[in-house]
Amino acid sequence: LVNMTQKKIKIIDLGLVDYNYGILYQKNIHNKTSDNANVILLEHDKVITIGTKGDNNDVLVSIEKLKKEGFSVINSDRGGQVTIHNKGQLVCYIVMPISNYNLKPVDFVRKIESLIINLLKNFDISSYIIKGKTGVWIKSDNIEKKIAAIGVRISNGISMHGFALNINNNVNDFKFIVPCGIQGSSVTSIQEELKKEYNVSMKKPKGKYICIQYRWYKGDLCHSLKKSLTLGYKHKIRIES
By annotation, the residues acting in catalysis are: 180
Contact yes or no for 116/237 (Cβ under 8 A): no
Q: What are the distances in angstroms from CA 12 to CA 86, 92, 192?
A: 19, 10, 27
Residue 165: CB atoms within 10 A of its CB come to 24
Sheet holding 47-50, edge to edge: 72-75, 47-50, 82-85
Residue 12 in 3-state DSSP? strand
Q: What are phi and psi of 187, to 5 degrees?
A: -125, 140
Residue 113 in 3-state DSSP? helix
